[in-house]
Structure 1
């Protein structure tokens, strides 16, 4: 789905340029779930903006959905194939109701009205908003608005959805709601890039990529990251309760593959 080799990005600031991304080698296969993390200012947003054509790399190569991202027409085409769900639920709606919001994308594709109405119903059912079809968007909760944003991505038949810290402004129930929705889409075949700084969300990701200072510092499994790497301590991360207990078990000789990452795994051990 995504292949980046020696990807570099510089931005102009007055008379000078500043390096934002440096020599990124990274790939995401179709149907894969990858979590991307790193401190604020590390380059996460710049990188994902390259992936959906909003940023143009300064050097290196990047292909997305088989398209070379150097030509402008390919960057425009990729915007439909790779969709973003942003942090702020309130900044992603254009219609006054969920029906109108999803209809906007379908109308732009020129879909016949009868097909469009049927498709809107299917999408709202899929994201759990069928009972809110004609509700005012302003009355939706933050989690429901994020569900609507996901629905708009589905309306464009996105091959890949990037969740850019999409749970950061939600309460715990809303965060779990959106995470489970994304996991369902992934299990159905959608490629997911899950951008987060939450340890509990990293722990349930099969693969984690860590950015720091515009460079790729780690790319691998969560167990290796939390139990066989010095990177979390070096970056000042606060380990989750499950990992804190796991560290104690590790010092007692437990093998890494048995150490807990999530609260559920910790409960099973206890």
Structure 2
């Protein structure tokens, strides 16, 4: 799905240019779930905007869904395959109702009306908003707006969805709903890039990529990151309760594959 080789990106700061990304190498296969993390200003947003054709790398090579993004014509075409769900739920709504919001993308694709209406209802049901089809968008909760944003991505038949800290402005129930929805899409074959700074969301991911000052500092399993790497401590991360217990077990000689990562792991262990 993504082949990034030694990509770099420069940005303008006043009259000077600064390096935003440097020497990024990352491959993401179709159907993978990868969590991307790093401190504010580390380059996460610049990187994912490159994957969606919104940023043009100044060096290296980048192909997404088989499209070489060094070619201008592919930077628009890639949006048919890769969609973004942003941090702010209110910034993504264009229609006055969920029905109209999803219809917007389908109308732009020239879908015939009967087929379009059937598709809208199918998508609303998939994201759990059938009962809110004609509700005013302004009355939706943050979690419902994020589900609607996911529905708009599904309307465009995205092969990959990038969630850019999509749960950061939601309450615990809303975060759980969006994470569960994303996991269901992943299990159905959609490639997911999950951008987050929440330790519990990282720990539940099969693969984690860590950015720092525009460079890829880590790309691998969560157990190796939390239990064999000094990176979390160096970055000042506060470990989750499950990992804190796991650290104690690790000192007692427990093998790596048994150490807990999530609250569910810890519950099963106890």
Compute the TM-score of the two structures, normalised by the length of structure 1.
Answer: 0.99
Question: What's the secondary structure of 1:21's corresponding residue?
Answer: strand
Deviation at 1:127, TM superposition (A): 0.4
Question: What's the secondary structure of 1:157's corresponding residue?
Answer: coil
Compute the TM-score of the two structures, normalised by the length of structure 2.
Answer: 0.99
Partner of 1:265: 265
Question: What's the secondary structure of 1:153's corresponding residue?
Answer: helix
Question: What's the secondary structure of 1:218's corresponding residue?
Answer: strand
Partner of 2:61: 61
Partner of 1:94: 94
Deviation at 1:269, TM superposition (A): 1.2
Deviation at 1:157, TM superposition (A): 0.6
Alpha-carbon distance in 2 for matches of 1:57, 1:43 = 12
In the TM superposition, what whole-angstrom CA distance separates every residue of 1:202-226 from its partner, at most 9, and x where no partner exists?
0110000000010000000000000
Deviates more, 1:11-20 or 1:48-57: 11-20
Question: What's the secondary structure of 1:42's corresponding residue?
Answer: coil
Question: What's the secondary structure of 2:145's corresponding residue?
Answer: helix
Partner of 2:20: 20
In the TM superposition, what whole-angstrom CA distance separates every residue of 1:123-171 from its partner, at most 9, and x where no partner exists?
0000000111101111111100000000000000101000000000000
Partner of 1:173: 173
Partner of 1:110: 110
Alpha-carbon distance in 2 for matches of 1:17, 1:138 = 40
Following TM superposition, where does structure 1 have runs of at least 4 consecutive aligned residues deviating by more than 4 angstroms? Answer: none
Partner of 1:153: 153
Partner of 2:125: 125
Partner of 2:31: 31
Alpha-carbon distance in 1 for matches of 2:100, 2:242 = 43
Alpha-carbon distance in 2 for matches of 1:267, 1:119 = 41
Partner of 2:252: 252
Structure 1: segments with no counterpart, 5+ residues: none
Deviation at 1:17, TM superposition (A): 0.8
Partner of 1:228: 228
Partner of 1:186: 186
In the TM superposition, what whole-angstrom CA distance separates every residue of 1:32-61 from its partner, at most 9, and x where no partner exists?
000000000000000000000000000000
Alpha-carbon distance in 2 for matches of 1:102, 1:241 = 40
In the TM superposition, what whole-angstrom CA distance separates every residue of 1:19-43 from its partner, at most 9, and x where no partner exists?
0000000010001000000000000
Question: What's the secondary structure of 1:104's corresponding residue?
Answer: helix
Deviation at 1:15, TM superposition (A): 2.8
Alpha-carbon distance in 2 for matches of 1:181, 1:25 = 29
Partner of 2:44: 44
